[in-house]
Amino acid sequence: MNNSINTIAQNIIDELSPLKGVRVIAAMSGGVDSSVMAVLLKEAGLDVVGVFLNVWDYSRDEVNRHGSCCSLEDSYDARRVADHIGIPFYAMDMRKEFRRDVIDPFIADYETGRTPNPCERCNRFVKFGALLETADQLEASFIATGHYVQRRDDEHGLHLFKGNDAHKDQSYFLATTNREQAKRILFPVGGLEKNDTRRLAHHYALPTADKHESQDICFIPAGDRIAFLKREGAKSGFREGDIVSQDGALLGRHQGIAHYTLGQRKGLGLPDGPWHVVSLDGVTARVVVAHPEDAMIRSVDVGGIVWIRTPCEGELVTAKVRYQMQPAICTLEASDEGLKVRFDSPQKPSAPGQVAAFYSGDELLGGGIVSRVG
């Protein structure tokens, strides 16, 4: 962007100014995005209360060593930012809710052959679930986050759109956010490029301006998913079993389906490759693989559907069933589980447990959870 940083800041402040005096909970993770979000709300004159969600055990060595969005260091950073910009700050204990709604389902999915999406569940149940209940207790009208998602309201209601920065867009992870939740969420940095967020952080001399951005799952900051699952007591996901082709030919053995995800192609160590994992059976402990041309999918079944805006009849809808996937044109058909999503062209494999996000252009319509891959 060629605009001066003052212009960028003022444009966002002007957009937020109609909410001057309204109380808002700023969900502060200790990172640069949420720090800039909080200062922009304060500059626009909102009554801002900073909240950090303590979702994991800070005493764990691997969290303290590597850092993540739930480490003790991040809590300190969030408090430093709140003190710097002059807003009240609270650290809230959400470990019980996080364990119940994110950790336990994460373990159960890997035990049964599904591939969970913990960020989606954290947004749905903790950030936009339990935190909204906290907002009610604090008499706050909104919560605000540092997600790269854009909100636009008009005479027809609320609309959510992809973030302007294609490399940072996080709309996919909000696809299961329901309409009532979305009405109470603000995304002040959603229209920014990441480099401009950094520039704003320096402009306001925020303590987190140069902070490194973690890419790991927050409760597995060292990146060792297998060690985490074993430490947390997962057992059935580590039963030995066969690796077979789609026609049943035995290709090898494995040490547990928890080591694999659908669509995986690296680290299989099988002859006559390349291969892709196309099925994981938690009952028989079988891993089924196929060559790339046979691993493509044409449809998925999706359950737990929520709509932020219900698509109109005849509207062109696209879907993505993996975060890194480009939305693909599809047809939506009602099914017993929710929706059958049929793609116009073959797509790389997704996995049960992943988010299916539906779009109309850049507008996020809603989504659900993949239950079966076709």
In angstroms, the CA 186 to CA 109 distance is 31
Q: Which sign does the torsion angle of CA 69, 234, 357, 327 carry?
A: positive
Active site (annotated) includes residue 122: yes
Sheet strand arrangement including 47-54: 89-93, 47-54, 23-27, 142-144, 185-186
Give the pTM: 0.91
- Categorise residue 147: left if φ over 0, alpha if ψ from -120 to 50, beta otherwise: beta
Q: Which of 70, 218, 312, 330 is catalytic?
A: 218
Show pLDDT as tens, one digit a residue, over the chain (374 residues).
446 999 999 999 999 999 999 999 999 999 999 999 999 999 999 999 999 999 876 555 444 444 455 667 889 999 999 999 999 999 999 999 999 999 999 999 999 989 899 999 999 999 888 899 999 999 999 999 999 999 999 998 999 999 999 999 999 999 999 999 999 999 999 999 999 999 999 999 999 999 987 766 788 867 789 999 999 988 999 999 999 999 999 999 999 999 998 889 898 989 998 999 999 998 999 999 999 999 999 999 999 999 999 999 999 999 999 998 999 999 999 998 899 999 999 998 888 999 999 999 999 999 999 999 87
Active site (annotated) includes residue 312: no
Q: Provide the 10 A C-beta neighbour count for residue 183.
A: 14
Q: How many CA atoms lie within 13 A of 53 on its CB side?
A: 31
Q: Provide the 3-class DSSP secondary structure of residue 373.
A: strand
Residues 332-347: pLDDT tens digits? 999 988 999 999 999 9
- Categorise residue 345: left if φ over 0, alpha if ψ from -120 to 50, beta otherwise: beta
Scan for tokens 């053995």, then name that residue.
253
Q: Which of 69, 70, 122, 330 is catalytic?
A: 122
In angstroms, the CA 203 to CA 43 distance is 13
C-alpha dist (Å) from residue 247 to 19, 113, 250, 364: 61, 20, 9, 39
Alpha helices in the chain (DSSP H): 5-16, 32-43, 61-66, 72-85, 95-98, 104-112, 118-121, 131-137, 179-182, 194-203, 225-231, 292-295
In angstroms, the CA 24 to CA 154 distance is 21
Domains in the chain, CATH or no CATH each: 5-146+188-203 (3.40.50.620), 238-294 (2.30.30.280), 296-373 (2.40.30.10)
If you ran DSSP here, which 8-state letter would residue 247 be given? T
Q: Which sign does the torsion angle of CA 232, 99, 123, 215 carry?
A: negative
In angstroms, the CA 3 to CA 160 distance is 24
In angstroms, the CA 110 to CA 238 distance is 9
